[in-house]
């Protein structure tokens, strides 16, 4: 028998709109490949969910190398949504993914409103797809970021995709805006089940000796521990403004990071860049989560979400 | 082109926090670090790599790919530790060379595809490749088996590091992999090795001890041939008339030049690409290289899971 207050008594399940997850630790899109890569390193059954690498309507070769550059406590990436398109995804990746013992949330990025809607329709009703995350925030492809920086476009997109499927819809927002609460409000008003924040912060690196940009794409998205305070601030601001459940993303690597995001108002978190430099990080977080919740004096994740004390 | 079908995945890899056993200076800015990692040591094969990161440090944040130099085998025959040789040139290696025995690093491996293997001799359980329909091997990467009469290893800069284990395997001095794989024996092994100056040349005595024929070049003429390592390769091909097989590792222009020589001489050539990586396991899509596809077009392939060793004929330089 477990001792009172032991980890086994903690309820880790979370609810993101219509999406139920067994726990709040997810692998972020673009940082977990198509999951097959991690099959022997990570026990998928212990994850709340996996977001495979973003798929686009048509295949994309991605950007010219260099595609990533390390920075202080972080990294810049400009991969450019290198993927083989949604048809190849449905044919080759989904049959593998749908057999995995965890929730699969498919991340999609359209070049246009109609492409997003079309891909949503293609995913609708597919066995093994738990939800769709709209990547309206990738800084490395032209057009892709517009939906996340324009209130009206964001509203229309979330509304249309909601109508195109019965699957839960998650909007993933960019921090590269003046007021993220405006965009989040639009996504919430349009019926998003959850809002993921944040995607990467637009940045740049220069090789002064060659007088050239380090990245093939010139600019790229900053991620890793360096952006955690920005992500935490965004989660806090949006949590104050909307009722929609939030998924915190940005530099999360330790159990303290996870707990900070939950307290600030995130119902779940996605682990991104940390997968690159610590491939088993999600397992370590799952090991540590029940004890951290115990330490916080709660017996469920739900109880700690948004419990930040202000003044 | 089938996106799910990388040539291999990190299916033998483990991630461990390990203690440094020894960190020895070999040449100018060049060190060999040894750490105890039995699971990696017994699985890794020549040409494979591992990722290394300084434990709990956020700057540098990202791991670095380092080729297997050699494994250290205990008296009872069990591989216990791994040696990697590195050049100090960036944020991580500038710290790594100062680390001492007992300090900790995170490593994960073995990763990537080593130098070509004959079918069925890879260190993995029989039939593992075809255990599901989701990941059959790519047919575009069928290498002619090494060795051969004459294995010529062409190294530039720090590119000699993957070749000691390969030479030992080819000369039947040592076996690698789990279960240990068998390679045909090479009659002759040559190392053509070029560096900036004599003081950067490292590990030469390890190759000498094996009986590898050694040809050296330096950019400044301070030792060996004053010029390019590819000159040595051409000399070597002119002098020997066996059926050679070339393996190559070093700066990209040098590998491109070696590949051209091999192509013109119709000699099989494998190159180990030194593409910058972030994860080493195939999840970040940083380390892509342009690889020719069966239909003649090229596609960006991940060096970590589709390489780092490629048939030189398939690389778009």
Tell me, yes or no, whether B229 lies in a domain.
Answer: yes
pTM over 0.90: yes
Structural domain containing residue B305 = 150-314
A126-149: average pLDDT? 84
* pLDDT over 80 (residue B129): no
Cβ contacts of A39 on chain B, cutoff 8 Å? 9, 11
B30-54: average pLDDT? 98
Tell me, yes or no, whether B143 lies in a domain.
Answer: no
Max distance between CA atoms of chain B, in angstroms, equals 55
Which candidate in B5, B135, B278, B301 is best for mutational testing of the A interface (most A CBs within 10 A)?
B278
* pLDDT over 70 (residue B125): no
Tell me the per-residue pLDDT of A10-69, one tens digit each, with 9 for 90 and over.
999 999 999 999 999 999 999 999 999 999 999 999 999 999 999 999 999 999 999 999
Which range (A66-70, A144-148, A168-172) has the least confidence?
A144-148
Tell me the per-residue pLDDT of A184-221, one tens digit each, with 9 for 90 and over.
999 999 999 999 999 999 999 999 999 999 999 999 99
Q: Residue B42: which CATH number?
A: 2.40.30.10
Tell me the per-residue pLDDT of A249-267, one tens digit each, with 9 for 90 and over.
999 999 999 999 999 999 9
Are A70 and B12 a contacting pair at CB < 8 A? no
Pair (B59, B166) in one structural domain? no
Are B3 and A280 a contacting pair at CB < 8 A? no
Closest Cα partner for A200 from A176, A169, A232? A176
Are A75 and B278 a contacting pair at CB < 8 A? yes
Cβ contacts of B1 on chain A, cutoff 8 Å? 84
Tell me the per-residue pLDDT of B220-264, one tens digit each, with 9 for 90 and over.
999 999 999 999 999 999 998 788 999 999 999 999 999 999 999
Pair (B22, B96) in one structural domain? yes
Pair (B171, B240) in one structural domain? yes
* pLDDT over 80 (residue A118): yes
Q: Residue B171: which CATH number?
A: 3.40.50.80
Closest Cα partner for B288 from B306, B313, B263? B306
Closest Cα partner for B309 from B259, B263, B261, B267? B259
Contact A61, B300 (CB under 8 A): yes
The predicted structure's pLDDT at residue A275: 98
Residue A201 bridge partners (DSSP):
A222
Pair (B199, B300) in one structural domain? yes
Contact A154, A116 (CB under 8 A): no
Our CA-based measurement puts residue B6 at a distance from the nearest CA of chain A, in whole angstroms, of 9
Tell me, yes or no, whether B310 lies in a domain.
Answer: yes
| CA B22 – CA B97 distance, rounded (Å) | 10
Tell me, yes or no, whether B120 lies in a domain.
Answer: no
Token duo for residue A164: 């195109």
Are A37 and B53 a contacting pair at CB < 8 A? no
Pair (B160, B279) in one structural domain? yes
A4-8: average pLDDT? 51
The predicted structure's pLDDT at residue A137: 87
| CA A162 – CA A170 distance, rounded (Å) | 10
Closest residue in A to B285 (Cα–Cα): A79
Per the model's pLDDT, the better-predicted residue between A10 and B128 turns out to be: A10
Are B285 and A79 a contacting pair at CB < 8 A? yes
- The backbone torsions φ and ψ at residue B133, rounded to the nearest 5 degrees and listed phi first, read -80, -5
In Å, how far are A11, A248, A287, A298, A303 from A5, measured between CA atoms?
Answer: 12, 27, 15, 9, 15
- Nearest by CB to A280, which of B15, B62, B279? B15
Tell me, yes or no, whether B124 lies in a domain.
Answer: no
* pLDDT over 90 (residue A125): yes
Closest Cα partner for A249 from A112, A143, A150, A133? A133
Residues of B with CB under 8 A from a CB of A: 1-6, 9-15, 53, 58-63, 91, 106, 108, 134-135, 275-276, 278-279, 281-286, 288-289, 299-300, 305
| CA B273 – CA B275 distance, rounded (Å) | 6
ipTM over 0.90: yes
Cis, bond preceding A83 (omega within 30 deg of 0)? no
Pair (B84, B230) in one structural domain? no
Which range (A3-12, A75-84, A230-239, B216-225) has the least confidence?
A3-12
Pair (B46, B105) in one structural domain? yes
Token duo for residue B312: 């030189």
Pair (B245, B299) in one structural domain? yes
Pair (B69, B193) in one structural domain? no
Pair (B172, B242) in one structural domain? yes
Look at strands A103-109 and A55-56 and give their pairing.
parallel
Pair (B270, B206) in one structural domain? yes
The domains of chain A, with CATH numbers, are: 7-62+80-201+222-303 (3.20.20.70)
Total domain count for chain B?
A: 2
Contact B254, B38 (CB under 8 A): no
B84-111: average pLDDT? 97
Tell me, yes or no, whether B213 lies in a domain.
Answer: yes
Quote the percentage of chain A above a pLDDT of 90: 93
Q: Collapse the DSSP code of B184 into the 3-class scheme (helix H, G, I; strand E, B; otherwise coil) and give the result.
A: coil
Contact A209, A185 (CB under 8 A): no
Closest Cα partner for A139 from A87, A237, A215? A215
B272-287: average pLDDT? 97
How many DSSP H helices and E strands does chain B contain?
A: 7, 16
The predicted structure's pLDDT at residue A6: 52
| CA A274 – CA A278 distance, rounded (Å) | 6
Residue A114: Cβ-neighbour burial (10 angstroms; 0-12, 13-18, 19+):
exposed
- How close are the terminal C-alpha atoms of chain B, in Å? 20
Quote the mean pLDDT of chain B.
90
* pLDDT over 50 (residue B2): no
In this complex, is the C-beta atom of A75 within 8 Å of any C-beta atom belonging to chain B? yes
- How close are the terminal C-alpha atoms of chain A, in Å? 41
Pair (B302, B160) in one structural domain? yes
Tell me, yes or no, whether B131 lies in a domain.
Answer: no
Closest Cα partner for B41 from B33, B30, B50, B28? B50
* pLDDT over 60 (residue B23): yes
- Which band of pLDDT confidence, cut at 50, 70 and 90, is reported for residue B3? very low
Tell me, yes or no, whether B123 lies in a domain.
Answer: no
**Annotation says A154 is catalytic:** no
End-of-domain residue from the set B62, B83, B111: B111
């Amino acid at each position: 028998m477990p001792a009172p207050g032991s980890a086994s008594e903690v309820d880790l399940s979370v609810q993101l709109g219509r999406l139920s997850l067994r726990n709040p630790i997810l692998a972020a899109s673009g940082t977990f490949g198509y999951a097959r890569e991690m099959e022997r390193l990570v026990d998928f059954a212990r994850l709340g969910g996996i977001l495979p690498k973003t798929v686009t309507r048509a295949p994309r070769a991605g950007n010219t190398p260099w595609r990533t550059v390390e920075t202080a406590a972080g990294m810049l990436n400009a991969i450019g949504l290198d993927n083989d398109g949604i048809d190849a995804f449905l044919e080759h990746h989904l049959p593998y993914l749908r057999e995995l013992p965890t929730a699969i949330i498919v991340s999609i990025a359209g070049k246009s409103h109609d492409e997003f809607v079309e891909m949503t329709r293609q995913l609708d009703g597919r066995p093994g797809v738990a939800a769709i995350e709209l990547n309206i925030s990738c800084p490395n492809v032209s057009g892709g970021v517009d939906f996340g920086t324009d209130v009206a476009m964001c509203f229309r997109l979330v509304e249309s995709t909601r109508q195109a499927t019965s699957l839960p819809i998650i909007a993933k927002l960019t921090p590269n805006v003046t007021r993220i609460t405006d965009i989040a409000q639009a996504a919430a008003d349009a019926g998003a089940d959850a809002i993921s924040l944040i995607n990467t912060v637009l940045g740049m690196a220069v090789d002064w000796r060659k007088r050239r940009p380090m990245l093939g794409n010139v600019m790229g998205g900053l991620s890793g521990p360096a952006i955690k305070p920005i992500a935490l601030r965004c989660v806090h601001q949006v949590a104050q403004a909307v009722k929609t459940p939030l998924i915190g993303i940005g530099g999360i690597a330790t159990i303290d990071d996870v707990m900070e995001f939950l307290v600030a108002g995130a119902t779940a978190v996605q682990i991104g860049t940390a997968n690159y430099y610590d491939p088993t990080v999600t397992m370590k977080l799952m090991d540590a989560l029940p004890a951290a919740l115990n330490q916080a004096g709660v017996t469920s994740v739900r109880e700690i979400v948004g419990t930040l004390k202000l003044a | 082109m089938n996106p799910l079908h990388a040539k291999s995945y990190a299916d033998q890899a483990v991630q461990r926090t390990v203690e440094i056993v020894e960190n020895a200076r070999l040449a100018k800015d060049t060190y060999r670090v040894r750490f105890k990692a039995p699971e990696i040591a017994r699985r890794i094969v020549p040409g494979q790599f591992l990722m290394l990161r300084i434990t709990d440090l956020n700057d540098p944040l990202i791991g670095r790919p380092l080729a297997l130099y050699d494994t250290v085998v205990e008296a009872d025959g069990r591989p216990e530790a791994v040696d990697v040789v590195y050049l100090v040139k960036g944020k991580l290696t500038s710290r790594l060379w100062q680390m001492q025995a007992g300090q900790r690093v995170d490593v994960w491996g073995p990763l990537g595809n080593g130098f070509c293997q004959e079918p069925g001799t890879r260190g993995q359980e029989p039939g593992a490749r075809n255990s599901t329909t989701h990941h059959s091997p790519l047919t575009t990467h069928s290498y002619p088996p090494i060795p051969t009469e004459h294995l010529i290893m062409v190294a530039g800069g720090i590119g000699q590091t993957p070749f000691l284990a390969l030479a030992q395997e080819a000369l039947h001095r040592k076996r690698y992999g789990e279960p240990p794989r068998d390679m045909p024996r090479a009659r002759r092994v040559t190392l053509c090795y070029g560096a900036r100056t004599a003081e950067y040349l490292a590990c030469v005595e390890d190759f000498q001890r094996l009986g590898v024929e050694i040809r050296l070049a330096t950019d400044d003429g301070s030792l060996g041939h004053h010029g390019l390592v590819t000159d040595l390769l051409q000399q070597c091909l002119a002098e020997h008339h066996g059926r050679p097989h070339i393996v190559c590792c070093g700066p990209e222009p040098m590998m491109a030049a070696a590949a051209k020589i091999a192509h013109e001489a119709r000699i099989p050539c494998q190159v180990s690409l030194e593409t910058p990586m972030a994860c080493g396991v195939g999840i970040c899509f940083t380390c892509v290289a342009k690889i020719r596809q069966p239909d003649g077009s090229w596609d960006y392939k991940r060096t970590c899971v589709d390489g780092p060793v490629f048939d030189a004929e398939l690389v778009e330089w």
